[in-house]
Amino acid sequence: MKKILLTVSVLVLTGASTLSAHAQDIQGDKTVGATKNALCIGCHGIQGYHTGFPEVHKVPKISGQGAGYIRAALHAYKAGERKHPSMRTLASSLSDQDIADLAAYYESTGRGVTLPATAAEGSAKAAELVTQGGCTSCHGPNFSKPIDPSYPKIAGQHADYLYVALRSYKTNDKPLIGRAHPIMGGVAKQFSNADLKVLADYVGSLPSELQTVQRGRVK
C-alpha cells in the first residue's frame, strides 16, 4: 500500500505534464466534435475492426471513455510520448480545439449503462495480480470509475488491446512502439507478459460503459 500511495503522489506532480495549461482550459463541444470524426471512423467506427500493428488486435473502443483521458491520450500521441505511428500522425493533424471537441463527442456516445459498483472477482490468479498492482485504487472498484478524469475506464475494453497497451508501458527504447508514462510504466514493469495477459483477459471480461459506435449510426 505504501508503494501505491507513493506512486499516486508522484503522479500528482507529473500528471499534468502532457497537457499545457492552455490546452486544459479549452472547452470541448460534442456537437462540433461529431462533425470532426471523419478521420476516426475508418478504424474506431467499425465493430470488431482489427489493426495489424504491432500485432493483430482490435482497435480500442473510445465511445464512453472519459473526455479527460481521451484528451490526455491524444496529446500524448501528438507529443510522441505514445509512439503508435498512425495515431501519432492523426493526433498531430488535430488542433487543441479539435482534440477537446472530439473528446467531448466520444465521451457522450457511451452505452449509458449503470455498472455494479464493484467488479466481480475473477480467477484466484487474477485477484492476486489485481491486488499486487493496486489497479482498483486508480481505475476504481469496478475498473470504470477512475479517481482522476485523465485516467481511463478499462472495464470491458477489448482484452487483446488491453494486453498490447499494458505491454507498451514496459517499452521505452523502441522508435515505433511504446508508451512513456511514469505511473503505468511502474505498474506494468512489475509483471511478466503472462501475468499481463491474465489481467487483460479479466478486465476485458467485465461489464463496460465503452462501445464502438458503428460508422453508419454516427450523425
- Contacts with ligand HEC by CB under 6 A lie at 4, 7-8, 11, 39-40, 42-44, 51, 59-60, 62, 70, 72-74, 76, 82, 84, 86-87, 90, 94, 102, 133-135, 137-139, 151-152, 154, 157, 162, 164-166, 168, 179, 181, 183-184, 187, 199, 203
Question: Looking at beta carbons only, is 117 or 131 nearer to ligand HEC?
Answer: 131
Q: Measured from the CB atom, is 76 or 119 closer to ligand HEC?
A: 76
Nearer to ligand HEC, 11 or 23 (CB): 11
CB of 72 to ligand HEC, least distance (A): 5
168: which 3 cell numbers? Answer: 507498451
CA distance 150 to 8: 13
Nearer to ligand HEC, 50 or 117 (CB): 50
Q: Which three cell numbers stand for residue 108?
A: 457522450
Phi-psi region of 118 (alpha: psi -120 to 50; beta: other; left: phi over 0): beta
- CB distance 89 to 53 below 8 Å: no
d(CA 150, CA 65): 10
**C-beta of residue 165 within 8 angstroms of C-beta of residue 76:** no
Minimum gap (Å) between residue 157 Cβ and ligand HEC:
6
CB closer to ligand HEC out of 164 and 213: 164
Provide, rounded to whole angstroms, the least separation between the CB of residue 94 and ligand HEC: 6
**In angstroms, what is the minimal distance from the CB of 91 to ligand HEC?**
7
Q: How far is the CB of 38 from ligand HEC (least distance, A)?
A: 8
**Which candidate, 67, 59, 89, places its Cα nearest to that of 77?**
89
